[in-house]
Chain A
Amino acid sequence: MSATSTISPAVLDVEKIRKDFPILSTMVHGKPLVYLDNAATSQKPLSVIKAIEHYYTHENSNIHRGVHFLSQRATEAYEVSRKKVAKFINAPHDYECLFVKGTTDGINLVAYSYGKQFVKEGDTIIISAMEHHSNIVPWQILCEDRKANLKVIPINEKGELKMDEYKKMLAEDKNVKLVSVCWISNSLGTINPVKEIIALAHEKGIPVMLDAAQAVQHIVVDVQDLDVDFLTFSGHKLYGPTGSGILYGKEKWLNAMPPYQGGGDMIKHVTFEKTTYNELPFKFEAGTPNIEAGICISAGIDYLNGLGIEVVAQYEHELLEYVTAKLLEIPGLRIIGTADQKTSVVSFFVDGTHPSDIGILLDKMGIAVRTGHHCTQPLMEIFGIPGTVRASLAFCNTKQEMDQLVEGVKRAVSMLL
């Protein structure tokens, strides 16, 4: 579905919501913080902060190991959280949801384990030109190791995937073993037509992995409807704690893949001669995990569900349209990423200025944006710029903050030019 879904036109009580985020009342250089770096990491509502405190106050214990009371309590909380995550993305089975450290970890796991089992010399992995380094480098490492090819779906000047080129790749290359693309681009905001991407790959029996790091907080995720093979995201961008993340994988793939890491929890039986592996999900969860993060990732999900993701998406889209139109009034300002289907990210470049200069000056006005290449260096080269200023929005931002951003950029530009 698109972010312009019209399911619910209800308005959010943003002023009330903002009170749930203590950090938003921070003063920066004597000015109230305007936090527009939500794509890098989201801020945490009190309920998540309290859940973390609750864990350490009442539940802390190692999981899956002890017969004692606390260990069982912690294990229970951990597994309940997994169930909530499974429900959130509509996974058929909760054991198909692996706890990982984050998106990067999830992609590395698949690159390693799927790659080890299924990718051979001369095979091909397809990614796209708008990938985060996290969805480039693990595949490069794999391809180098296997002497496999990495092919890149190009984009048009609006920052949309050239689907014709993708179809051509699938038609011409008989050795494609996996397609791995982002659902939403972190530097352009483009929402990719993932359902179509998956369907096209499946026609050839090729599995698809989605980097959903920027999607889960803005879009309803239904892995069954998508029929996606792997999907990964980070809890810290989803109002939850850092160090939490999820890798969803279809059972048939996860069962066919060798473990990623060896250690405690992932084994059934160990002798020095041979180890038999535990069943899913534990086969892929070696060692003591980040228990607190695993438990509290679902507190972030609960918060978002409480607001209603469709309502959130609609509000965020309105903010995006509003700020985009206002920014475009600034002479010399170019929006980088003008896809028809777009969400929550506005990246721009002002002729004659360097993004880092604008970022530094905005910071002095209390406005937090990201500047640079956003870990998508190849993409910046395509647009022929050193980087962009990126404002990434969330439901806790206000129209007034959008005005402040626009005024801030105007002021910065007038100082710089």
Chain B
Amino acid sequence: MTINEIQDELIDEFQMFTDWMEKYEYIIQMGKDLPLISEQYKQDDNLIRGCQSRVWLHADYKDGKVLFTADSDAIITKGLVSMVVRVLSDHTPSEIAGAELYFVDKIGLREHLSVTRSNGLLSMIKQMKLYAVALQSQEK
């Protein structure tokens, strides 16, 4: 699936929820579902500091594709992180670098990308893109 197909799939999944609490229950479920990162990568090197919660991000580059794993100490952030990982992981650096993440807005979660939230999500997306851009220039 392309990045946009995955985004559309997520938007679809969220369409069935009618109220905020259901949406958040789903996000929390996604957050609980998997420990996203192996403990060895949960170090300060991989830590993206938000004011509120912490996010760890690890990237692997294999067969022309970037594989992201990530984690957070807050479960809602973790759910949001897992969505971003689901969208961006397993794509080529140029696909990731050029991706426009519209699903956050469409699902109505834009506030989580705001500066005041400072949950590390925004910094994590920046970091993912930077990583992709760096790989992109290596490829050339």
Q: Which residues of A contact B (CB under 8 A)?
A: 29, 353-357, 359-361, 364, 371-373, 386-387, 415-416
- Contact B75 A357, beta carbon cutoff 8 Å: yes
Query: Given contacts A29-B20, A356-B74, A357-B74, are A415 and B52 in contact (CB under 8 A)?
Result: no
Pick from B24, B51, B77, B119: contact of A415, CB under 8 Å: B24
Distance between Cα atoms of A380 and B48 in the complex (Å) = 19
The count of residues in chain B whose C-beta lies closer than 8 Å to any C-beta of chain A is: 15
Distance between Cα atoms of A29 and B19 in the complex (Å) = 10
Pick from A356, A361, A373, A416: contact of B119, CB under 8 Å: A356
List chain A residues, Cβ under 8 A from B16: none
- Contact A360 B24, beta carbon cutoff 8 Å: yes
Distance between Cα atoms of A355 and B73 in the complex (Å) = 10
List chain A residues, Cβ under 8 A from B33: none
Pick from A359, A364, A387, A416: contact of B20, CB under 8 Å: A364
Q: Apart from A29-B20, A361-B76, list 20 A-B contacts with CB within 8 A.
A: A353-B75, A354-B73, A355-B52, A356-B52, A356-B53, A356-B74, A356-B76, A356-B119, A357-B74, A357-B75, A357-B76, A359-B52, A360-B24, A361-B24, A372-B51, A386-B53, A386-B54, A415-B21, A415-B28, A416-B28
- Contact B52 A371, beta carbon cutoff 8 Å: yes
- In the complex, which residue of chain B has the Cβ closest to the Cβ of A412? B24
- In the complex, which residue of chain B has the Cβ closest to the Cβ of A31? B20
Distance between Cα atoms of A371 and B73 in the complex (Å) = 14
- In the complex, which residue of chain A has the Cβ closest to the Cβ of B29? A415
Q: Which residues of B contact A (CB under 8 A)?
A: 20-21, 24-25, 28, 51-54, 73-77, 119
- Contact A364 B24, beta carbon cutoff 8 Å: yes
Pick from B21, B28, B51, B77: contact of A364, CB under 8 Å: B21
Distance between Cα atoms of A360 and B53 in the complex (Å) = 12
What are 25 A-B pairs with beta-carbon distances under 8 A?
Answer: A29-B20, A353-B75, A354-B73, A354-B74, A354-B75, A354-B77, A356-B52, A356-B53, A356-B77, A357-B74, A357-B75, A357-B77, A359-B52, A364-B20, A372-B51, A372-B52, A373-B51, A386-B53, A386-B54, A386-B73, A387-B52, A415-B21, A415-B24, A415-B25, A416-B75
Most chain B CB within 10 A, of A353, A372, A373, is at A372
Nearest 5 Cβ contacts at the A-B interface: A354-B74, A356-B52, A364-B20, A356-B74, A356-B53
Query: Given contacts A354-B53, A386-B53, A416-B28, are A360 and B73 in contact (CB under 8 A)?
Result: no
B109 to chain A, nearest CB (A): 10
A372 to chain B, nearest CB (A): 5
List chain B residues, Cβ under 8 A from A359: 52
B63 to chain A, nearest CB (A): 36
List chain A residues, Cβ under 8 A from B73: 354, 386
List chain B residues, Cβ under 8 A from A364: 20-21, 24
